[in-house]
Amino acid sequence: MTSRSNEGRGPLYRIYINRLRRSLDPATVPQHVAMMIDGNRRWARQLGLDSAADGHRAGAAKMREFLEWCDDVGVRVVSLYLLSNDNVTKRDSNEIADLIEIIAELADELSRFRDWKVQHVGSTVELPAPLVDVLQAAQQRTSTNAGMHVNLAVGYGGRREIVDAVRSIISEHDQRGGSLEDLAESLTPETIGEHLYTGGQPDPDLVIRTSGEQRLSDFLLWQSAHSEFYFVEALGPDLREVDFLRAIRDFASRHRRFGS
């Protein structure tokens, strides 16, 4: 998988990359990085390509590279925002069909690469059955892997995730025969966190978004309460390893207070 951002990289670039890598303290590398890949369609338009699918394919290729960069510096969990609920219901049907095919190919490929553990996070309600099958197969295939944990946010919406978590809590409480008063008393942020799609995982330390856009777009709303954010001007397929390493370096320089 390649994109045009790989072109024209000479030995000086590699020297600089290696110097950046060596400057990173493993103790300051974020444990969980969330990536919002954005700008794929604009990238395709700027190059005069035939369709948005060309941009999405380039973006998917970049995500494979991005995961390798994360793994190589010691990140333990990566969450990729690939397809939102809003995308499914509001975008052109032909574009969504192309995206679904691209995401299925990516999920299958990632489940056969290195020792990564792939997990689908999101709702399957609006997703076509073939894509759900691929995501479930990727998750099952990698369930015993011990490498980096890769969350694929597909059919994902932060608000829906919170609603689904609360519904799950209510359902479990009802099955135990508890009262409404007991439920209200037992409801805590920790309880909700345990019932999210990412339950049991650390919250993202760092959220990165490409294309210069500075908004969350309904991604990991609950989990990112204390996350650091880093915005990159490059469009998704043009993201470079140096951009990523600078984001990690910038994160390491920040003083995180967690509300204190």
- The residues annotated as belonging to the active site are 38, 87
Distance CA 102, CA 88 (A): 14
CB atoms < 10 A from the CB of 208, how many? 23
Distance CA 45, CA 220 (A): 29
Q: What is the DSSP string of 77-93?
A: EEEEEEEEHHHHHHS-H
- The alpha carbon of residue 81 and the mean position of all alpha carbons in its chain are separated, in whole angstroms, by 4
Distance CA 187, CA 178 (A): 13
Distance CA 181, CA 250 (A): 46
